[in-house]
Structure 1
Amino acid sequence: MGINKSKENQHCGTKPKKIAFGIAPLGIVSIGIVPMGVISIGVVPMGVFSFGAVAMGIVNLSVVGMGIISAGVTTMGIWEYSPNSHKNHHNHSKQISNPNKENMMSDLFNTKLEAEKAASNYGCIGAHKMGNKWMPCKMH
């Protein structure tokens, strides 16, 4: 029951390899199911540069990405690119400086059509669901 100190034995606390492959590889360059490292390529990569299905890191290229710079179908980040990102950007400065939006919480409607018609009063378009009611504007 001694600890095997061979180079093949990988466990928590060992130094990362330069290039690692596997289920949860840890390396400078990691390729696998849940790779972790500076450059990570895989299904759920986590690293500085992450490429895969669901990526988390500083720079991501993925289907679903979370990071500082993120590109993919569904992304969250400071700078992001996705096919729909130009439609649903949050414009925080406009929301804060728009006095009409202060009373928006009291303007809930029973139908989506009513909320969409009222959206022009707030300088926006569309409507979104709030519980069982509808609120003007696509986003808060």
Structure 2
Amino acid sequence: MFETGFQGSVQVLAEQLVVLNEDVILKYPSGILINKGVSEKKEVRLKKNSKVLGAVVVYDQDKSAHKIIKIDKKAEVVGDVFCSGKIQLTGKIIGTVYTSSFYLKTEASTYDNYIMNGMIDRKNLPNDFVRIPLFQHNHNRLYGAIKPM
């Protein structure tokens, strides 16, 4: 867990949970990776006004594991976001997103494949930004771009 107001460049390797409290800035080139491990729940949460300049990856081949990235309102990722589970996006991503699905959880219900007030902007990623090699060994997987309705 990153305490409110923390700023710095970090590389985080975790097995279960990473939380960026409000007003946390992980400067470029930072990265968060939750990969494998014994925990059935893997989650990254960016709270209000937090920012990651780099990559956020939650990956596990175990189909029963719950894999989640939550990007709260006014939180932002500049870079690559990959989740082999679900992403709840009410904040902003400047870069590329790869996920199995989106979801929205409200007080009343949970909705699959919804983004409410969230934004994905892949065109404004800085030209000198170094991308992570996500798919160098996954040539058999098919990914596609979502299009706005």
Q: TM-score range by the shorter chain?
A: under 0.3
Bigger relative CO (Cα 8 Å, ≥ 6 apart): 2
Scaled by the length of structure 2, what TM-score is found?
0.26
Scaled by the length of structure 1, what TM-score is found?
0.27
Question: Counting strand residues as a fraction of each chain, which structure ranks higher?
Answer: 2
